[in-house]
Amino acid sequence: MKSKMVLFLLLWGICSCGEKKPQQEVQQRPAEVEQQVPVPAFNPDSAYAFIQAQVDFGPRVPNSAGHAKTGNYLIETLKKYGANVTVQEFQSEAYDGTVLNLRNIIASYNPDHKKRILLAAHWDTRPFADKDDEDRDKPIEGANDGGSGVGVLLEYARLFQNQPPNVGVDIILFDGEDYGEPQEAKTTRNNGEIYWCLGSQYWSKNLHKPAYSAYYGIVLDMVGAKDAKFYQEGISMHFAPKVVRMVWEEARRQGYGNRFIPQTTGMITDDHVFINENAKIPAIDIIEYGPESQRKYFGDYHHTHEDNMSIISKETLQAVGETVLHVIYKE
């Protein structure tokens, strides 16, 4: 992703839904119970390898060969790790009228368990480097923006196969997230449509199971860059403040308080928006986005050709991966 949320219409929609409340409430866990829960060890080397595997297919831009091959790889890998896999194939129009052939990939663990947690990331990449100074019309590799969140979730799938959590977990890999307007778009149709997050928009209006719901959702986006810090994103705090605080407190317990900063930042258009607004599931976004970046909140690599494997840090993957893994297994 992403774009900073400045659209009046969307902001109005968020502000106008104040009376809507999640069906489930996230309760505080007793500390004595947390200490007794066995949690498998997150392997950052494995997560890194999953990111590399995606990058090796080339840019995962919808309608490209690299995109098709990556999608097949993700489906095969999740099946290999014992998930019940559902594929949503659909078409969506991009900002310039291009018809995109897209696939949301849903992997379910403990499918019969009523209490479910949703974990999500997007697997497509930006079709142009519109923040770069060179080759702006060429697609980016998206090692971090797309690849890192998927890499962490594939590592979870590997762990879930051997040690399932005590709740149902649905891993959703959204497509078409990063095909939004370029920085200086001249071809955007002025029709009020949002051209970011096409996969989560589709899924949230066409759930893979009738009446599907989850206790809460966690979106992972740009979670692998060196020295990344994660602030409490504004929409997450609006819709799911208890989930945000639970995750950031877990990070502190695991020794990553220097990475997860308990400070609220602005609102971002990302997949969690539509999980909250349309699917009515309280969802948060763990994303590198804060006041320390020189490029208006996002990392300097954002939507440039710098977003390659050279910026990926196993230490950052460890911090995010271990934190969320503990959250899941302590349910």
Structure tokens at 206: 């066409």
Number of domains in the chain: 1
Task: Give me the CATH number covering residue 150.
Answer: 3.40.630.10
44-102 tens-digit pLDDT: 999 999 999 999 999 999 999 999 999 999 999 999 999 999 999 999 999 999 999 99
Residues whose CB is less than 8 angstroms from the CB of residue 315 and which lie 6 or more positions away in sequence, other chains included: 44, 226
137-186 tens-digit pLDDT: 999 999 999 999 999 999 999 999 999 999 999 999 999 999 999 977 65
Domain that holds residue 190: 3-329
Question: What is the distance between the alpha carbons of residues 149 and 221, in angstroms, rounded to a whole number?
Answer: 5
Higher pLDDT: 11 or 240? It is 240
Which of the 8 DSSP states describes residue 115?
S
The answer to whether the beta carbons of residues 190 and 118 sit under 8 Å apart is no
207-250 tens-digit pLDDT: 999 999 999 999 999 999 999 999 999 999 999 999 999 999 99
Residues whose CB is less than 8 angstroms from the CB of residue 143 and which lie 6 or more positions away in sequence, other chains included: 51, 54, 55, 224, 307, 308, 309, 311, 312
